Amino acid sequence: MQHHPLASKLRDDFPILKREINDFPLAYLDNASTTQKPQCVIDSLLDFYSTHNSNVSRGVYTLAEEATEIYEEGRENIAKFIGATDSGNIIFTRGTTESINLVASAWAQHNLKTGDRIIVTEMEHHSNLVPWQMAAQASGAELVYWPITSEAGSSAGSRLDLQKLDELLTDSVKHHRNFRLLAVTAVSNVLGTVNPIAKIVEMAHERGIPVLVDAAQAVARMPIDVTGWDCDFLAFSGHKVYGPTGIGVLYAKKERLDEMLPFQGGGGMIRQVGRQSSTWADSPQKFEAGTPPVAEVSGLAAALDYVSDVGIYEIQKHEKELTAHALNRFAEFSDLELYGPQDTCDRTGVLSFNLRNVHPHDVAQVLDESGIAVRAGHHCTQILHERLGVAASVRMSFGIYNEVSEIDHLFSTLDRARDIFLD
């Protein structure tokens, strides 16, 4: 088996990769959906429940103090990982979806009014689209789409055109239409396109428009710098960066947190409770009602430490090499339709495609028979797939443990799919 130097060094850290599926070694190529967990993350969860399990900020006994320390140190580590200067800007949620819904509920619905507009892109995951639809419907605001470039199967296609954004913003000023928020993904979960977040934020801020960044696909693949980007909100999930499920992060600037009302009511988020009304704790506790996910925070902190030890730039290099190899293999086949940029410039190792005249689910099933895990469907991006002119696609996506040999195995298996469905 062909090994990539980085992958071969790390694969033993991931217990699940020792599995066989249908008598084949597991080739896990669905990292855009969720990543596998290194042993250090599994150990952190076990250690918490075995030796420290307690609620936080609720007791003066030793276990409670240890749990609180683990929880707040995790918050500090996560802030550092994404370039935030203050851990108080970090709110824990159950995932990217809840983080975005928190903003849509706690900020948008209280700051939007009839006639206001929200910009979203055509490449957004439903989690960065449906909450804005709901906020717009509740407030009377309007959703405006920033389209992707045409020529989806070319190097120039499937990107966001900054000139189009400028036109949208200029038209809004000209016609006295008030844009109140721009919501954009850092990396498309279908196209693999890397968007120029810093420039997008700069353009929006010049017109006084806050920006929310969906970093779910970016956090395990590239450096995140909320201070350098100057974004107002940023959301990501732990399970997409080698951490546990059930834990997510919302970063928000202090001034935005001050504009937000509580998302949920209950214990932990109050300052004082009266018979008819209550007052709220300061951020971030104001948005963390109930028993917090302490074990999951410890697991996420362990995952981010692991990624930092490997080195995010090494991870980028590794993924670029895998992506380049996959793109070269795609070029060998005339019946494979690849969506997204056709080169490695401003794209990551998320590659969606179709085998012409074969349903994506059939392709995925044949791949699974050879131990290859990929995703098939619309990937929670129905608007984007409609724009691409297809109902669904097959998606492979890379992680730090993937190897060139696994990509070659996939393409060999696609030959078998052709024999089954097209002969």
Active-site residue set? 380
Measured CA to CA, the distance from residue 78 to residue 89 in angstroms comes to: 10
Residue 90's CB is within 10 A of a number of other CB atoms, namely 24
Helix (H, G, I), strand (E, B) or coil at 226: helix
Q: Are 112 and 175 in contact (CB under 8 A)?
A: no
Q: Region of 18 please: left (phi>0), alpha (psi -120 to 50) or beta.
A: alpha
Contacts of range 412-419, beta carbons closer than 8 Å, 24 or more positions apart:
413/366, 413/367, 413/370, 413/372, 414/333, 414/336, 414/355, 414/363, 414/367, 416/366, 416/370, 417/355, 417/358, 417/362, 417/363, 417/366, 417/367, 418/335, 418/355, 418/358
Which of the 8 DSSP states describes residue 147? Answer: P
Report in angstroms the alpha-carbon separations of 356 from 104, 330, 335, 388.
Answer: 39, 13, 5, 14
Q: Which of 166, 165, 71 is nearest to 120 (CA)?
A: 165
Q: Region of 379 please: left (phi>0), alpha (psi -120 to 50) or beta.
A: left
Q: Are 340 and 151 in contact (CB under 8 A)?
A: no
Q: Are 323 and 398 in contact (CB under 8 A)?
A: yes
Q: Which of 309, 335, 325, 311 is nearest to 414 (CA)?
A: 335
Q: Are 237 and 96 in contact (CB under 8 A)?
A: yes
- Amino acid at position 31, single letter: N
Measured CA to CA, the distance from residue 238 to residue 62 in angstroms comes to: 28
Residue 166's CB is within 10 A of a number of other CB atoms, namely 13
The separation between CA 306 and the C-alpha centre of its own chain, rounded to angstroms, equals 18
Buried b (16+ CB within 10 A) or exposed e, 95-124: bbbbbbbbbbbbbbbebbeeebbbbbbbbb
